[in-house]
Structure 1
Amino acid sequence: MIPSSSRFPAPFHRFLILLLALAAATLVLAKPEPIDIEMSLKRVSEHVYYVQGMAGIATDNKGFISNAAAIVTDDGVIVVDTLGSPSLAQRFLEAIQTVTDQPIKTVIVTHYHADHIYGLQVFDDLGAEIIAPGGFQDYLDSPAAGDRLEERRFSLSPWVNEETRLVRPDRVIVEQTELSLGGVSLDIRYLGPAHSDGDLAVLVRPDQVLISGDIIFEGRVPFTGGADTRRWLEALESLDQVGVKALIPGHGPAAREPAEAVSSTLEYLRYTRGVMASAVDEMTPFAEAYEAADWSRFERLPAFAATHRRNAYGIYLSLEQEMLGD
């Protein structure tokens, strides 16, 4: 509240107004650190655009290794995922603004992993509603979330820095939900814990474009980390693809043959789980089982060298836990 001019001299009153105006202008102009990265907005359908990160590990390409999408309507824009730094999210926002002057109304987060959520604050500061899957809190409330942020402040400095913050959602989805904006309807599909502690996929109804998040990796080896690969397989096997004309995965290029994109991730998970399941059943040490396996069908895929052995080891450990649980 600005003090009444009856209590302070007019020059002081004007000075205070000027200070407040300067402070507001500073907030408006404050932006993340600029980032020199190639990022092109690709149109998939009438309403849907996306940007595609390169195939690599988390800190490659200045952190631009994942995808994000924008659904443009007559009443605003819905963003799906926000990339791996505020700087990348700002570039994404600027790319969206080249095709529409509509405001960002909503952000849907397919899952809470660092390469998809560190850009959230850019859209949160614009007043967009943040929607996330149930299970997000298992990551966000864990020590791992803070540890990861501290590591990225080092490995992706200055684009992830002390100003980068973790953003909690405004709305949590735990069942299939319909969202409409500007005549465009979305089916938000809650997949439960699969690739992460909670995953969503988004079907843009009028365009029949499916935005899958990281339950599908196109043209590269998936990153499984600590994923529940049994649930992940179940989610893929139950994924309704009827009528889907294009698919935007969490990583890799958009697919015009969605069934092929789904089947490639399915094949990788099924085969790797099968090899590791046999090893666990026979009590074969991981290293021995890994070296004896034939990985030739996957070894030419991007990210194989950086990711696959860790994937296989994580799956081996999870299968041991599944066996104990069963």
Structure 2
Amino acid sequence: MLFRLLSAKFCALLLLLFPFVISAQQAQEGALLKPVQIAPHTYFVQGLPEIGSSNNQNFISNSGFVITPNGVVVIDALGSPVLARKLIAEIHKITDKKIVAVVLTHYHADHIYGLQEFKKVGAKIYAQYLAKNYLTSDTAQQRLIASRTNFAPWINNQTHLVKADVWINRNYQFKVGGIEFLITHVGPAHTPEDLMVYVPSENVLFAGDLVFRGRIPFVGNADSRGWLNALNTIQNIDPNIIIPGHGAYSIDPQHDIEFTRSYLSFLRESMAPAAQNLDSFDDAYSRVNWSEYEGMPLFRAANRMNAYNVYLSIQEE
């Protein structure tokens, strides 16, 4: 009894003195990954509004799946193999149907590093053919090398890039168990290969990273003008529910895509005069009132880079 009491006190003292012990435990347990049902046959898991790290296993993006009589179709594969394994296990708690397909909205790291686990269970991978350029690029290889360090041990030397089984070069559709999946290429926008997946019988649209909610979007090398046009395409579809690439699902799509639209428009309006006149980016950035966005998750991590990339892209338009 005394030993148990001393052990408990010792452990408590350790946790006070070494908070990293908690982080290690959290890393072992991993981030919460629990599917939420949003339509009769559709579920999704919501990534964290954070930068990818070892502690969160790179669980920063969303994934979803649709259960049909003939199998499960997954949209996006999450940001590490361990997350994909967890998602597969959660799917099997809900249904005994096989996972037959994974559709990728785009080939960014936080959406693709789980692909190898879905291949192991026999899923067919669908992606837009322009993603081939990324897969064979130095950028993809260097990103994977860096991820093996930054996200260790969850991404390591056994983690590899996976190519699609079906490369889509136009709008595409297929049926599984009588449920239709309509795949539309809307890039270049967030990426050149952006796809969105609409399931008419569920009236659910998987928008990928065309839509962000609850955090600053990641612009990267996006075509911001094309991205705004892609949002118009989403509005024309007018689904009941949108699953974004990041953030909570939306039951008011017309309202909730407005955040992404407003942010991109604000970046363009703020950067355009300096970009067109070849004025200093630093001066232009410092003059902007960012108060509407600066309290949001990832503002410090992403906003300045986003503005700079928009500044450069406007010069090339």
Please report the TM-score for the alignment, with normalisation by the length of structure 1. Answer: 0.86
CA distance in 1, matches of 2:102, 2:222: 24
Partner of 2:39: 45
Question: Tell me, what secondary structure is at the counterpart of 2:56?
Answer: helix
Partner of 2:62: 67
Contact 2:235/2:254 (8 A) holds in 1: no
List aligned pairs for 1:228-307, cutoff 5 A: 228-307=223-302
Partner of 1:165: 160
Letter in structure 1 aligned against 2:295: R
CA distance in 1, matches of 2:145, 2:68: 37
Question: Tell me, what secondary structure is at the counterpart of 1:91?
Answer: helix
> Are residues 1:223 and 2:218 paired?
yes
CA distance in 2, matches of 1:238, 1:209: 14
Letter in structure 2 aligned against 1:67: N
CA distance in 2, matches of 1:276, 1:198: 25
Partner of 2:203: 208
> Are residues 1:141 and 2:136 paired?
yes
CA distance in 2, matches of 1:288, 1:261: 32
Question: 96, 102, 108: which is aligned to 1:101?
Answer: 96
CA distance in 2, matches of 1:238, 1:205: 15
> Are residues 1:58 and 2:52 paired?
yes
CA distance in 2, matches of 1:237, 1:198: 17
Q: CA RMSD in A?
A: 1.5
Residue 36 of structure 1 deviates from its aligned partner by: 2.3
Partner of 1:84: 79
Letter in structure 1 aligned against 2:51: I
Contact 1:135/1:193 (8 A) holds in 2: no
CA distance in 2, matches of 1:114, 1:80: 14
Q: After alignment, is 191-200 or 116-125 more displaced? A: 191-200
CA distance in 2, matches of 1:254, 1:36: 22
Shift in CA distance, 35/136, structure 1 to aligned 2, threshold 3 Å: farther
Contact 1:135/1:192 (8 A) holds in 2: no
Contact 2:205/2:243 (8 A) holds in 1: yes
The alignment-based identity, stated in percent, is 40
Contact 2:30/2:56 (8 A) holds in 1: no
Shift in CA distance, 94/39, structure 1 to aligned 2, threshold 3 Å: same
Shift in CA distance, 242/195, structure 1 to aligned 2, threshold 3 Å: closer
Residue 284 of structure 1 deviates from its aligned partner by: 2.1
Residue 64 of structure 1 deviates from its aligned partner by: 0.5
Residue 192 of structure 1 deviates from its aligned partner by: 2.4
Residue 163 of structure 1 deviates from its aligned partner by: 0.6
Question: Tell me, what secondary structure is at the counterpart of 1:216?
Answer: strand
Superposed structure 1 runs of 4+ greater than 3 Å apart: 240-243
Q: Give CA-to-partner distance per residue, 1:80-107, whole Å, 9 cap, x none.
A: 0011100010011111111101000000
| Higher Cα Rg, which structure | 1
Residue 304 of structure 1 deviates from its aligned partner by: 1.1
Contact 1:138/1:197 (8 A) holds in 2: no
Shift in CA distance, 243/312, structure 1 to aligned 2, threshold 3 Å: closer
Q: Give CA-to-partner distance per residue, 1:8-67, whole Å, 9 cap, x none.
A: xxxxxxxxxxxxxxxxxxxxxxxxx97522111111101110110111123362210000
Letter in structure 2 aligned against 1:295: W
Contact 1:220/1:303 (8 A) holds in 2: yes
Partner of 1:7: none
Please report the TM-score for the alignment, with normalisation by the length of structure 2. Answer: 0.88
CA distance in 2, matches of 1:80, 1:222: 20
Q: After alignment, is 128-137 or 241-250 more displaced? A: 241-250
Shift in CA distance, 273/243, structure 1 to aligned 2, threshold 3 Å: closer
User: Structure 1 stretches of 5 or more lacking a match?
Assistant: 1-32
Partner of 2:115: 120
CA distance in 2, matches of 1:314, 1:249: 22
Q: After alignment, is 92-101 or 239-248 more displaced? A: 239-248
Contact 2:102/2:123 (8 A) holds in 1: yes
